[in-house]
Structure 1
Amino acid sequence: MTDESADESPKQPLSESQEQPTDESADDESAAETFSLADFHDASQEAGRPVLTAAAAARALEITQDEAREGLEALTAHGDVERLSVEPDPVVWYPSELEDLTDRERVVVFPKRREVIVDRPDQFTRAQLAQFAHLADGNGEQGYRYVLRAEDIWQAPHDTFEGLCRTMRQALGQRSEPLEEWVESQWDRAHQFRLTTHEDGYTVLEAKSPEVMGNVARQKLDEEHVHAPISDTEDWVREGAEAAIKRLLYEAGYPVQDHRELESGEDLSIDLEIELRGYQQTWIDRFAESGEGVFVGPPGSGKTVAAMGAMAHVGGETLVLVPSRDLVRQWADAVVEYTSLKPEQVGQYHGGRKEVRPVTIATYQIAGMDRHRSLFDDRQWGLVVFDECQHVPSDIYRRSTHLQSRHRLGLSASPIREDDRQTEIFTLVGPPIGTDWEALFEAGFVAEPELEIRYVPWGDDEQRNAYASADGRERYRIAAKNRGKVDDVRYLLSAHPDAKALVFVDYLEQGRDLAAALDVPFLSGETPHHERRRRLEEFRTNERDVLVLSRIGDEGIDLPTADLAIVASGLGGSRRQGTQRAGRTMRPAGGALVYVLATRGTREEDFARKQLQHLGRKGLTVREQTLEQTESESEEKGE
């Protein structure tokens, strides 16, 4: 049935209230209550166009056509939509704001989906939205799409629900009762349980009511977690079980407020000797409110400096945990450079040096070893910092989270995991604190790199035939090591002769071959630490312009002058790996370029496209280029 014939169908029977309206305005109010502007947008989304007939609205919202027509007429009377009669088409309605969308910010709320679409948002709106919603798509072309998730409400930086509501209404420019009802329900969930310290020194789990204690906590926890009940709303917690309790109740949908009176350790006066950016100070302020959190931002946004600001705020002895020995040294140097601390107050603890000092930087691996743990357990830390904290949920690294401290802080450019254990990051360390990437790009604090996926043809028939006869992971390995990529890497380096370039690979054999073809060093886990430091220093001081890196370059290597990244293989690994490798060029200086090479017509194409979609949702522009033949071949043929 066409829209036109649907509009001419017999009217549905009216309800008693519709048959005897008291007056026209009362009828409009009744219709408006059952058909809001948000409903209009929901129906418009379903229909895939901004104009609706009454029949289209009725189908999308599963109501009668008369109910849809009356609701649309009520919205017209309120000035929310415009009515237009078009021959030979039926009457259509469209949003009044459609006429001036190009001139101002527009916020559209979809309460049923708990989504907010914002077109041309200003910095204030985005800062407000970041306090209670997750930026799911920030490419700006179809507007910014925010999603309200339970964890966003649980972690909102507000002391009261009323304060959160004020922020929501400021950001949305309107009041959405269905959305606010859901937010209030999540806010209430986040305040049902808390951990406190009993006057005798042990930990107590408190519930807001006997019902929630009995129906939730005592169903999820057992003798491994609690000794015994103290009352209908209190349980005596076993020492060391706090993290497990927080994780289990979080997974059950009830985050636990941690109000324990933990020892803060010896006082340590720290002054920050670098000026903070506005958003860094905001991160620190939000950390100060809760005493824990994870700073989330792109590479180059200054998470390490912000962490030092948190150290200064805490004013206590600090343990910093990092994934590699190289990062230990970099952290130690940075603490001395950017704070008032002296070198003798900063210790390094790893395979080569074992110093425990007021500020100690150690690797996760060594902090988790039984023979070293007592050194860290015996000291009362005011703050533990978990750098690259996306590692924390892994079975090896999570042992380090058993270390007790008054405050916890994580740092990560991309706190996502392919095993879907990322929620454990926030239960073990703290809630996410960050600024959306697009805002940092626009403000000029971080340069937005240009990303291009280049689909490269096979370099020879031998590999093409091997790929055709292989299956599973072996096919990806063959495509990743396509020798045709060597020519394209050469071409890209020659096209950017003045660039400081990093070439990333996933396979040692491929890295050695590329390094030999380019006559440059290859740094991998097999490279001795002293040689690795020397090569990196050469790169920093402009003595060397090109390095080939294995996975050691994904995290923990500070390359602030890199302005060109070529990913020869590796984006098939994980979204986090894609973020780290592409993000190595994100620094305040502009003009950064990232090229991702994928063998044309193979599974590597899909892998690369999928992983870079994650960066596209953060606001980066991703181009695609299909190469018929490598540029070097074209030059040889004089084309």
Structure 2
Amino acid sequence: MTDSDPTSSDGDDGEAGDAFTLSTFHEICQREGRPVLTAAAIASGLEVSQEGASERLSALVDRGEVERLSVSTDPVVWYPSELEDLTDRERVVIFPKRREIVVDRPDQFTRAQLSQFAHLADTNGESGYRYVVRAEDVWQAPHDSFDDLQRTMRQALGQRSEALEEWVESQWDRARQFTLRTHPDGYTVLEARSAEVMGNVARQKLEEEHVHAPISDTEDWVREGSEAAIKRILYEAGYPVQDERDLEGGDELPMDLHVRLRDYQQTWVDRFAEAGEGVFVGPPGSGKTVAAMGAMAHVEGETLILVPSRDLARQWADTLLEHTTLEADQIGQYHGGVKEVRPVTVATYQIAGMDRHRSLFDDREWGLVVFDEVHHVPSDVYRRSTHLQSRHRLGLSASPIREDDRQVEIFTLVGPPIGTDWEALFEAGFVAEPELEIRYVPWGEDEQANEYGSAEGRERYQIAAMNRGKIAETRYLLSAHPAAKALVFVDYLEQGREFADALDAPFVSGETPHHRRRQLLEEFRRDERDLLVISRVGDEGIDLPTADLAIIASGLGGSRRQGTQRAGRTMRPAGGALVYVLATRGTREEDFARRQLQHLGRKGMTVTEETVERSTDSDSDSDSDSDSSDE
């Protein structure tokens, strides 16, 4: 547009000048799809003369809000002053319809605020984060009122989003439609906020096995023992239940910790204290067990701790003695090896769920029940233990995801997730981020390759998993890191024995006697051994010592949680840890490996890939020719 454009006048320019701000400049940038503009583009956007546009731009320059730059293709371009340091600044973009929030370079405060109402769905491992606001995130937000939650949202986003806030408020309201409470006569009542929601939701979903009869238009008499089922059914219908029953807290049990909680651990405990229930979610090495002891110290009531194996029961008992003021005669274990019920009892899920033992736990009033490795709870065997009622319930898990997508049951049966995003712990130095690398290994024997080609289904997967070329590749990796303490994970007993013989290392499996298993792990922990081959028993049934190097030789068809557990064996405050995942080239193991580690990539870890070209028939230590790319 030129000075002689008949659509412009001095008067019009003056009115436009009064309204021209940095915000208007940004709007025109968005329309043009460019971060820098010419005066002609501004003139067109404002429908003023180019001279008038230049005057307005000069006014912004005088206020320090934009800069001008002469370039060869145009006399002058203009850009916001903030663009000079834009790469170092936090930026938030909201997509209200998708309920997504994309944040570039968020600071620690922003991430902490976002974690209170949004789920970290993805990160590029550098500066970009994608959050999704799900219904369950709003239901579980640690706030007493919607106004408090709204304030947190605005602090995190740095702006208001009317559409997103409206949806969040509707979910906040849904989470407060139903309440379980104790009637003065001692039985449990399900109460709805209105007769409409009681009739249209609860009485449509619940059966006679759940409730006896209506007490009023908004109240139903609950059958004893069906509380957990009611909570699960209504949660799945989109209406989480507030549990305000007057549950017994058991006898008092004063205790203190010998260790100081880290700031994020104290935050976990504080959030648990507010809700009375929850699941501590954090990477291996983040101190979930110690945080659980902090929760025990808050409750100060008799506590039942449920674990998957007797080895973990022993380790819990030892850790309680080491880190708390509890005495040995206050801590009992209840499993196949010993049966003691004491003020703090550590029992296996299997024992607690057996009919002949359940009365021992039912008859005692627990102030707190702790579900270690809580991702097991939805399974048919383990969930029988969730009938145990207590005033407080706490779960622990590095990764509560399940391949059957039944993790929702974890949060209805135990409590909402409480955690800190993994990358924040990496950045703060509390947990070391291991280097993860997938190595695509060629077949070690033509015979195995031929067997794979003619096999089908599960047999095909097993042949690829047991590729003997992985033994030579493991030797190569161990020789490349001669000073490292290493754990080699396998999924099959036969393969474990082959690796143990080839590497001259002990094989720890479910067949290893408990006393021998403890001896080997303790020797590794004391640096008397630097290499162990571990079966699936190492995924969570035992507390493995920390390693510098983890080599996952098989098990890639397992769950994402298994990948998390195995990679997590290197996650401790000391840095420099390495995780190598061996996948047979040209087989489905390639896809399995990517799927397992993609979950860790979304948590902020960097995952790389290497294609091994070196022949694995020999024990050559020569370096590999490889293709590398970031995932």
Alignment TM-score, normalising by the size of structure 2: 0.88
How far residue 635 of structure 1 moved from its aligned partner, in angstroms, is 2.8
User: Aligned to 1:261, which of 229, 246, 252?
Assistant: 246
Contact 1:138 1:438 in 2 (8 A): no
Report SS of the residue matched to 1:131.
coil
Which letter does structure 2 place at the counterpart of 1:592? Answer: A
How far residue 473 of structure 1 moved from its aligned partner, in angstroms, is 2.1
Contact 2:546 2:571 in 1 (8 A): no
How far residue 609 of structure 1 moved from its aligned partner, in angstroms, is 0.8
**In 1: Cα distance, 2:427 partner to 2:150 partner:** 28
**In 2: Cα distance, 1:68 partner to 1:183 partner:** 37
**In 1: Cα distance, 2:228 partner to 2:615 partner:** 53
Residue 436 of structure 1 is matched in structure 2 by 421
User: Aligned to 1:522, which of 480, 498, 507?
Assistant: 507
Report SS of the residue matched to 2:570.
coil
Which is worse superposed, 155-164 or 204-213? 204-213
Which is worse superposed, 539-548 or 286-295? 539-548
Which letter does structure 1 place at the counterpart of 2:299? Answer: V
Contact 1:452 1:623 in 2 (8 A): yes
Report SS of the residue matched to 1:584.
helix
Aligned: 1:506 with 2:466:
no
User: Aligned to 2:379, which of 384, 394, 399?
Assistant: 394
Which letter does structure 1 place at the counterpart of 2:375? Answer: Q
Report SS of the residue matched to 2:249.
coil
Contact 1:457 1:627 in 2 (8 A): yes
**In 2: Cα distance, 1:93 partner to 1:401 partner:** 64
Unmatched 5+ stretches in structure 1: 1-22, 54-65, 71-75
**In 2: Cα distance, 1:558 partner to 1:81 partner:** 58
Aligned: 1:272 with 2:257:
yes
Contact 1:456 1:630 in 2 (8 A): no
**In 2: Cα distance, 1:430 partner to 1:95 partner:** 47
For residues 463-513 of structure 1, the C-alpha deviation after alignment (integer angstroms, 9 at most, x for no partner) is 111111112222211111000000011111111111111100111111110
User: Aligned to 2:342, which of 327, 352, 357?
Assistant: 357
Aligned: 1:547 with 2:532:
yes
**In 2: Cα distance, 1:638 partner to 1:414 partner:** 35
**In 2: Cα distance, 1:69 partner to 1:559 partner:** 70
**In 2: Cα distance, 1:192 partner to 1:25 partner:** 52
Describe the shift of the 1:618–1:465 C-alpha distance in structure 2 as closer, same or farther (beyond 3 A). same
Residue 162 of structure 2 is matched in structure 1 by 177
How far residue 230 of structure 1 moved from its aligned partner, in angstroms, is 0.7
Describe the shift of the 1:530–1:82 C-alpha distance in structure 2 as closer, same or farther (beyond 3 A). same
Contact 1:297 1:413 in 2 (8 A): yes
For residues 368-408 of structure 1, the C-alpha deviation after alignment (integer angstroms, 9 at most, x for no partner) is 00000000000000000000000000000000000011100
**In 2: Cα distance, 1:67 partner to 1:412 partner:** 55
**In 2: Cα distance, 1:517 partner to 1:610 partner:** 29
User: Aligned to 1:137, which of 122, 142, 153?
Assistant: 122
**How many residue pairs are counted as aligned between the two chains?**
592
How far residue 141 of structure 1 moved from its aligned partner, in angstroms, is 3.3
**In 1: Cα distance, 2:539 partner to 2:622 partner:** 37
Contact 1:466 1:478 in 2 (8 A): yes
For residues 297-344 of structure 1, the C-alpha deviation after alignment (integer angstroms, 9 at most, x for no partner) is 000000000000000100100000000110000000000110000011
Unmatched 5+ stretches in structure 2: 1-14, 38-43, 49-55, 625-631
Residue 308 of structure 2 is matched in structure 1 by 323
Aligned: 1:557 with 2:513:
no
**In 2: Cα distance, 1:272 partner to 1:380 partner:** 23
Residue 614 of structure 2 is matched in structure 1 by 629
**In 1: Cα distance, 2:16 partner to 2:377 partner:** 62
How far residue 121 of structure 1 moved from its aligned partner, in angstroms, is 1.2
How far residue 288 of structure 1 moved from its aligned partner, in angstroms, is 0.2
Which letter does structure 1 place at the counterpart of 2:435? Answer: E
Which letter does structure 1 place at the counterpart of 2:281? Answer: V
Q: How does 1:368-407 map to 2 (within 5 A)?
A: 368-407=353-392
**In 1: Cα distance, 2:611 partner to 2:94 partner:** 39
Which letter does structure 1 place at the counterpart of 2:502? Answer: A
Describe the shift of the 1:117–1:345 C-alpha distance in structure 2 as closer, same or farther (beyond 3 A). same
Task: Give the CA RMSD over aligned residues.
Answer: 3.2
Which letter does structure 2 place at the counterpart of 1:252? Answer: A
Describe the shift of the 1:312–1:40 C-alpha distance in structure 2 as closer, same or farther (beyond 3 A). farther
Report SS of the residue matched to 1:157.
coil
How far residue 28 of structure 1 moved from its aligned partner, in angstroms, is 10
Describe the shift of the 1:51–1:336 C-alpha distance in structure 2 as closer, same or farther (beyond 3 A). same
Residue 445 of structure 2 is matched in structure 1 by 460
Which is worse superposed, 378-387 or 121-130? 121-130
Which letter does structure 2 place at the counterpart of 1:528? Answer: P
Contact 1:196 1:204 in 2 (8 A): yes
**In 2: Cα distance, 1:220 partner to 1:548 partner:** 50
User: Aligned to 2:298, which of 299, 313, 320?
Assistant: 313
Which letter does structure 1 place at the counterpart of 2:416? Answer: P
Describe the shift of the 1:184–1:25 C-alpha distance in structure 2 as closer, same or farther (beyond 3 A). farther
